[in-house]
């Protein structure tokens, strides 16, 4: 048995494209962007050392130009390992959430584990805005383009749109260069603010129809908006039920 002290690596930055060129049984320090720091902070010649290789291998299957930076780790922990046994433990690679992921190493001997939080930069070909657009503005082909951008901070939080967003509507003011995610766009709303609309009032016995004006935008059926019947002085709450149509229960 040998005692292995897991050294600190906080602040270490790794370029995955460089690391994956070399098999994981070689020294990790050779592939670090800062070799001096890597030499002093990483232990060599163990499976444990190669966790960044496996992390890189996972994320480079989905993204381009992946980089890892160690942000935080648990206090130094001593783990007993068999130097002749290549199966030293189990590596758990967490999913990326807002640009960060949790990596855990569980030793086969005992219950001790080691934990890192890493920051990930990962690029993907995504749709972005060519220039600023206002809220509820229809998106034209000339407003958008494909660009390779860092999407790591969006992972687990927002979803970049896969299909061209041309023809859809912005749900809020957007800025030039912003990655187009599903929450920023929508099909044209069923009711726009200030639209002249049909207001249907009904119960189990009667149905009445009136003309009125929408005081809010209703994007889809089932959303609640404020409307005002023509000639009325007060607004009422209605449910969007169709194109330029809202329903009120009476």
Residue with tokens 């967490």: 94
pLDDT in tens, 35-59: 333 333 333 334 455 667 777 877 8
d(CA 34, CA 31): 9
Coil, helix or strand at residue 66: strand
d(CA 139, CA 153): 24
DSSP state of 17: H
pLDDT in tens, 151-208: 988 988 899 999 999 999 999 999 999 999 999 999 989 999 999 999 999 888 899 9
Among 43-52, 101-110, 236-245, the range scoring the smallest mean pLDDT is: 43-52
Domain 196-249 has CATH 2.30.30.760: yes
d(CA 124, CA 84): 41
**Greater confidence, 87 or 123?**
123
CA 88 to mean position of chain CA atoms: 33
Give the predicted TM-score (pTM) of the model.
0.65
pLDDT band at 249 (very low <50, low <70, confident <90, very high): confident
d(CA 246, CA 41): 65
pLDDT in tens, 229-238: 999 999 999 9
What's residue 108's pLDDT? 63
What is the token pair recorded at 219?
A: 């994007």
What's residue 83's pLDDT? 39
Instruction: Write down the domain spans for the chain.
Output: 2-122, 123-147+155-186, 196-249
* Mean pLDDT on 107-134: 83
Domain 123-147+155-186 has CATH 3.40.50.261: no
The answer to whether residue 77 scores a pLDDT higher than 50 is no
Asked if residues 16 and 68 have their Cβ atoms less than 8 Å apart, the reply is yes
Asked if residues 50 and 57 have their Cβ atoms less than 8 Å apart, the reply is no
Q: What is the mean pLDDT of the chain?
A: 78
Q: What own/partner pairs with CB < 8 Å and gap ≥ 24 does 210-216 have?
A: 214/246
CA 182 to mean position of chain CA atoms: 11
pLDDT band at 67 (very low <50, low <70, confident <90, very high): confident
């Amino acid at each position: 048995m040998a005692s292995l002290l897991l050294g600190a690596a906080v602040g270490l930055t790794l370029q995955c494209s460089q690391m994956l060129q070399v098999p994981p049984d070689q020294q990790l320090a050779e592939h670090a962007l800062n070799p001096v720091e890597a030499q002093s902070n990483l232990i060599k010649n163990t499976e444990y050392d190669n966790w960044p290789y496996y992390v890189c291998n996972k994320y480079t299957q989905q993204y381009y130009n992946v980089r890892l930076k160690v942000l935080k780790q648990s206090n130094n922990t001593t783990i007993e390992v068999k130097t002749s046994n290549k199966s030293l433990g189990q590596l758990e690679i967490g999913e990326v959430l807002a640009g960060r992921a949790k990596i855990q190493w569980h030793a086969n001997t005992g219950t001790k584990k080691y934990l890192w939080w890493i920051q990930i930069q990962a690029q993907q070909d995504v749709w972005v805005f060519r220039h600023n657009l206002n809220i509820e503005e229809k998106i034209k082909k000339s407003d958008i383009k494909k660009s390779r951008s860092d999407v790591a901070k969006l992972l687990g939080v927002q979803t970049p749109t896969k299909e061209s967003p041309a023809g859809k509507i912005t749900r809020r003011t957007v800025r030039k260069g912003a990655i187009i995610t599903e929450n920023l766009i929508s099909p044209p709303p069923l009711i726009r603010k200030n639209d002249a609309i049909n207001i249907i009032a009904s119960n189990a016995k009667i149905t009445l129809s009136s003309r009125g004006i929408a005081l809010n935008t209703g994007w889809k059926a089932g959303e609640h908006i404020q409307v005002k019947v023509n000639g009325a002085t007060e607004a009422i709450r209605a449910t969007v039920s169709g194109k330029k149509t809202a329903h009120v229960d009476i």
